[in-house]
Amino acid sequence: MRTSSMLEQLMEALRCLPGVGPKSAQRMAFHLLQRNRKGGLQLAEALSQAMTEIGHCDQCRTFTEQDTCHICTNPKRQSNGQMCVVETPADIAAIEATGQYSGRYFVLMGHLSPLDGIGPSDIGLDLLDYRLAQGDIEEVILATNPTVEGEATAHYIAQLCKAHEVNASRIAHGVPMGGELELVDGTTLSHSLLGRLKL
């Protein structure tokens, strides 16, 4: 369809969002134009601000528009000797939502992947090395994804912790709560057997 070129540009631009195809982009563009121009303008403003001003925390590498994020500057978090290593800022959101953790974080922004040319310095392990050397971290909790790359990254960081004489632990893998044992895949089930806890 040939429409006004500005509308076409908007539909094309909306497709940079994950999960938005041509049909959804059209629906979004018409919705904003017809019903919510103010919201559209606010979105434009928030987008251009976020894209230009949000950088990485100089302590944990998560997204923040300040030099240091609000978790790293929190004195309560600083006195806690735990550091949780995650792959993405979204993982911080998930862990914070549990309310079970009150230490600091370190965000890799990816995982080791030699085939894609992603080595230790690309995921900030030089900064992690520096932070472990400072000596205020007592335990590193490795919460990378349970994938081949995530496991390899966790293993690599565990070695780094050993070199600095810092305890390293890995989050438990096993049967998800509320699931049925018979529907759980074999690898998960064998992990849950190997990682059994004494009652």
Identified binder of its own copies from the candidate list 21, 52, 114, 197, rule CB under 8 A: 52
Per CB under 8 A, 99 contacts its own copies:
no
Per CB under 8 A, 68 contacts its own copies:
no
Helix axes 5-14, 22-35, angle to 10 degrees: 120
Q: Which is nearer to its own copies, 38 or 196 (CB)?
A: 38
Q: Which stretch binds its own copies (CB under 8 A): 44-52, 75-83, 131-139, 171-179?
A: 44-52
Per CB under 8 A, 169 contacts its own copies:
no
State the number of binding residues for its own copies (CB under 8 A): 58
Beta-carbon count within 10 A of 142 CB: 21
Q: Which residues of 3-41 are buried (b: 16+ CB within 10 A; e: fewer)?
A: eeeeeeebbeebeeeeeeeeeebbebbeebeeeeeeebe
Rounded Cα gap, residues 155 and 49, in angstroms: 38
| 3-state secondary structure at position 84 | strand
Rounded Cα gap, residues 69 and 55, in angstroms: 10
Length of the chain: 199
Are the C-beta atoms of 69 and 59 separated by less than 8 Å? yes
Q: Which stretch binds its own copies (CB under 8 A): 31-39, 115-123, 150-158, 177-185?
A: 31-39
Q: Which is nearer to its own copies, 60 or 166 (CB)?
A: 60
Q: Which stretch binds its own copies (CB under 8 A): 35-43, 147-155, 163-171, 190-198?
A: 35-43
> Per-residue x/- mask for its own copies, residues 69 to 88, rule CB under 8 A?
xx-----------------x
Element (H, E) at 164: none
Q: Which is nearer to its own copies, 40 or 81 (CB)?
A: 40
Enumerate binding residues for its own copies (CB under 8 A).
1-7, 9-10, 12-14, 16-19, 24, 26-34, 36-37, 39-54, 63-66, 69-70, 88-90, 92-93, 96-97, 109
